[in-house]
Chain A
Amino acid sequence: MMRLYKRSQPSKFWIYAAPLLAVVLTFLSGLLLFALVGVSVPDAVYAFFVEPLSDRYALAELGVKAAPLIMIGVALSVGFRAGVWNIGAEGQLIVGAIAGSAVALKFYEVDAIWVLPLMCAAGVAGGMFWAAIPALLRSVTNASEILTSLMLTYVAALLLSYMVHGPMRDPDGFNFPESRLFHDAATLPLLLDGTRLHVGFAAALIIVLVVWIFMSRTMAGFSLLVAGAAPRAGVFAGFGKHRAVWFSLLFAGGVAGLAGLFEVAGPIGQLLPGISPGYGFSAIIVAFVGRLHPVGAMFAGLLLAWSYLGGEAAQISLNLPVAVTNVFQGLLLFYLLAADVLILYRFTPEVVTPASGSLNTDTVS
């Protein structure tokens, strides 16, 4: 009989070993899964893990897919550490994309260098505006930002639908719901020729660095951590609770809005009824798999992107149904989060005595 005991302090060993253990467990479960659906295991492993990294274009696509996940994941982790639960980054992404697209379409014929920066500014402003609504409701009426930010995501999706069916619809597009294709001046520069890797990926890395420095080296970052870890202590030390709410939401909203703008001005090139396959929600997973640390979130974003691309590759080269690839991704995330228990708890074999269960209040069953 094994029992879980809380460690007196987090295990240094398992901090590093837990993710590796998770990968090994995923791998073993994956073998079983692939064997069950009748796919050659080496082929499946190759398709899932190697094909997404197999050439220059594939690597660039990893960056394209990871950029929004990293940006938003890092930005959300700041708020989560401060105890501000912004679940609505998807909505902030959408509104940022709409605002940036409005600039692109307003200056449709203008071939000037300032168009793109103005679009970026509009994207940030749009995302911040959408995040300001839950911040305002939280600080004035104490409404839970979890609910308000999430619900505003659905409002944002409908706003996007309205825009592409109405004011921002391509006038030459037979009434189909999409905007014109953006001009070159309104399209992101590429980092690698012949691929879709755009400057948004570089921006994501800069955001990782900035947040890392901010959280570990600045007073403002420290006050956010205190506000999250011990709200009352934070208040006594003069770090207002509302300030953490406003800062976290506006920051994540702005970054999500920028990520949305990058999607429409980068790989998509126009405003569509669906611009994000749920990056704002996946970024929540990224933040937690990355242990709410910016560098962790960067790796987690890459990992998640890698698993998406692996899933596509497995469908194409092995004809695996999408459900199998989703199960495999789910396994990976499940083990990553589950293995974290080893950092704070230890397994100890125990001689079972009838009374021992009720006496050990610190155990987890």
Chain B
Amino acid sequence: MFNFKPKHILQSLLLVMALGSTVLSAATDDAFKVGFVYVGPVSDYGWTYRHDVGRKAIEAEFGDKVTTTFVESVDEGADAERVLRKLAQDGHDLIFTTSFGYMNATVKVAKSFPDVKFEHATGYKRAENVSTYSARFYEGRAVLGTIAGMMTETNTIGYIASFPIPEVVRGINATAIAMRKVNPDAQIKVVWVNTWYDPAKEADAAKTLIDQGADIVMQHTDSPAPLQVAEERGVLGFGQASDMKTFAPKAQLQTIIDDWNGYYVDRTRAAMEGSWESVDTWQGIKEGMVGFGDYNTVISDDVKAAAEIVRSGIVGGTIHPFQGPIRNQSGEEVVAEGNVLSDEVLLGMDYYVEGIVGSLPK
């Protein structure tokens, strides 16, 4: 029979523990503590990696006055609440939860720790001590969609999507609208992989799309795997969330770079100075939350100029990625000429626009 009792190890460890606890108590107590909860590993070189860059920006800005902590690959189910509670209990003053699935756990734990400030990325539930923040990534997609529409030769763009939530659907639609403006014959084929981070699955999806004729692949998942496949197969692609040039120097045409640094530093400063308030932040290219990398040298000057017009138009407010006329898949006009979609509609987007092949999983 199994005779393994936790108690036994405990006893044998008492000595080591005594030593350990003295070392622990030597840690500085007066530093402002900022915690981060990540859905993937920091080495995903995409979504989580960029949040971690933001965490390091806080350290660089405030030096000894802050200590930061992160917990990576935290499951979005029952585990999130425990991790959050532990961070709060361990004296963290400000906690960033960087995935949609942490929403209810964040709100729940925030209730038990009214003195701790929480910041939840991409959700919609706020409280006195819970802010929400996200970036208008769809603005970046409009720039990429312009490039893709002008550069595709097969008129087929492959799109690897994670989950059919409004955020992802919005990205696909923004790409399609921009693409069709410069190339009315181009189409987007979508593969849903039902994961944020699974390099093998993402790579398989990229192969499938390339086999179906896509000569440009885009992804709304977190690893560079699709881009690496594009590089291998000699087709083109885009980086996602960070600059992935080193993974695919030939294939990466351009990339969206999530830049949380400014926001994280500002919010940490506000919390340290006592001016922190619960807000909802949704910033885009103009504020610098959505950034870009260098244009690949294979991009012609025409294409680059067209992309820059879209980018500067969005910054200047003359171009909106969801500007009418917009038609849905069956050709009905859903936004009339001269109108733009409101933030409210964008936040709940659940249909495809014209130019996307297949139907949206419901």
Known: A296-B2, A315-B71. A272 touches B194 (CB 8 A): no
7 A-B contact pairs sorted by A residue (CB < 8 Å): A273-B101, A274-B101, A276-B77, A277-B77, A299-B4, A313-B86, A321-B41
Q: Are B79 and A277 in contact (CB under 8 A)?
A: yes
Q: Are A312 and B100 in contact (CB under 8 A)?
A: no
Fill in one digit per residue for A317-334: 1 if any B CB lies within 8 Å of its CB, else 0.
Answer: 101011100000000000
* Residues in B neighbouring A321, C-beta threshold 8 A: 41-42, 72
Chain A residues numbered 321-363 whose CB sits less than 8 Å from any CB in chain B: 321-323
Is A206 an interface position by the 8 A CB rule? no
* Residues in B neighbouring A290, C-beta threshold 8 A: 2
**Nearest chain A residue, comparing its CB with the CB of B22:** A42
Known: A161-B194, A267-B81. A291 touches B2 (CB 8 A): yes
* Residues in A neighbouring B294, C-beta threshold 8 A: none
Q: Known A-B contacts: A176-B165, A275-B77, A300-B4. Give 4 more (CB < 8 A).
A: A273-B76, A312-B82, A315-B70, A316-B35
Q: Are A177 and B164 in contact (CB under 8 A)?
A: yes
Contact check: which of B20, B86, B165 meets A177 at CB < 8 Å?
A: B165
Is A125 an interface position by the 8 A CB rule? no
Fill in one digit per residue for B284-316: 1 if any A CB lies within 8 Å of its CB, else 0.
Answer: 000000000000000000000000000000000
Contact check: which of A50, A293, A296 meets B10 at CB < 8 Å?
A: A50
Which B residues contact A (CB, under 8 angstroms)? 1-6, 8-10, 13, 16-17, 19-21, 23-24, 35, 41-42, 69-79, 81-83, 85-87, 89-90, 100-101, 104, 124, 163-166, 194, 347-350, 361-362
CA–CA, A295 and B3, complex, Å: 9
Contact check: which of B24, B124, B163, B164 meets A174 at CB < 8 Å?
A: B124
CA–CA, A270 and B78, complex, Å: 10
Question: Lowest 8 CB-CB distances: which A-B pairs, in order?
Answer: A296-B2, A42-B20, A46-B20, A267-B78, A277-B75, A19-B4, A42-B19, A174-B348
CA–CA, A65 and B1, complex, Å: 23
* Residues in B neighbouring A203, C-beta threshold 8 A: none
Contact check: which of A43, A166, A276, A319 meets B20 at CB < 8 Å?
A: A43
CA–CA, A158 and B17, complex, Å: 46
Is A214 an interface position by the 8 A CB rule? no
**Nearest chain A residue, comparing its CB with the CB of B41:** A322
* Residues in A neighbouring B89, C-beta threshold 8 A: 57
CA–CA, A174 and B345, complex, Å: 9
Fill in one digit per residue for A249-268: 1 if any B CB lies within 8 Å of its CB, else 0.
Answer: 00000000000000100111
Q: Are B124 and A315 in contact (CB under 8 A)?
A: no
Q: Give the shortest distance, in Å, between B2 (CB) and chain A (any CB).
A: 3
CA–CA, A207 and B200, complex, Å: 38
* Residues in B neighbouring A57, C-beta threshold 8 A: 85, 89
Q: Are A293 and B81 in contact (CB under 8 A)?
A: no
Is A45 an interface position by the 8 A CB rule? yes
Q: Give the shortest distance, in Å, between B73 (CB) and chain A (any CB).
A: 5
* Residues in B neighbouring A43, C-beta threshold 8 A: 20, 23-24
CA–CA, A277 and B101, complex, Å: 13
Q: Give the shortest distance, in Å, between A63 (CB) and chain B (any CB).
A: 12
Contact check: which of A19, A174, A268, A291 meets B78 at CB < 8 Å?
A: A268
Q: Are B166 and A293 in contact (CB under 8 A)?
A: no
* Residues in A neighbouring B78, C-beta threshold 8 A: 64-65, 196, 263, 266-268, 275
Known: A53-B10, A263-B78. A293 touches B1 (CB 8 A): yes
CA–CA, A290 and B3, complex, Å: 10
* Residues in A neighbouring B100, C-beta threshold 8 A: 176
CA–CA, A196 and B6, complex, Å: 21
Chain A residues numbered 29-46 whose CB sits less than 8 Å from any CB in chain B: 40-43, 45-46
CA–CA, A158 and B195, complex, Å: 11
* Residues in A neighbouring B35, C-beta threshold 8 A: 316
Is A175 an interface position by the 8 A CB rule? yes
CA–CA, A19 and B349, complex, Å: 54
**Nearest chain A residue, comparing its CB with the CB of B8:** A20
CA–CA, A177 and B21, complex, Å: 43
Q: Give the shortest distance, in Å, between B71 (CB) and chain A (any CB).
A: 5
CA–CA, A270 and B80, complex, Å: 14
* Residues in A neighbouring B101, C-beta threshold 8 A: 272-274
**Nearest chain B residue, comparing its CB with the CB of A16:** B3
Known: A20-B4, A166-B362, A299-B5. A175 touches B165 (CB 8 A): yes
* Residues in A neighbouring B362, C-beta threshold 8 A: 165-166
Chain A residues numbered 272-292 whose CB sits less than 8 Å from any CB in chain B: 272-277, 290-291
**Nearest chain A residue, comparing its CB with the CB of B67:** A319
CA–CA, A312 and B78, complex, Å: 13
Is A303 an interface position by the 8 A CB rule? yes
Is A61 an interface position by the 8 A CB rule? yes
Is A4 an interface position by the 8 A CB rule? no
Q: Give the shortest distance, in Å, between B207 (CB) and chain A (any CB).
A: 19
Known: A19-B2, A49-B10. A316 touches B194 (CB 8 A): no
Q: Are B2 and A299 in contact (CB under 8 A)?
A: yes
Known: A61-B82, A175-B348, A315-B72. A269 touches B104 (CB 8 A): yes
Q: Are B70 and A295 in contact (CB under 8 A)?
A: no
* Residues in A neighbouring B86, C-beta threshold 8 A: 312-313, 316
Q: Are A177 and B163 in contact (CB under 8 A)?
A: yes
Q: Are B13 and A49 in contact (CB under 8 A)?
A: yes
Q: Give the shortest distance, in Å, between A273 (CB) and chain B (any CB).
A: 7
* Residues in A neighbouring B9, C-beta threshold 8 A: 23, 49
Q: Give the shortest distance, in Å, between A177 (CB) and chain B (any CB).
A: 6
CA–CA, A63 and B86, complex, Å: 16
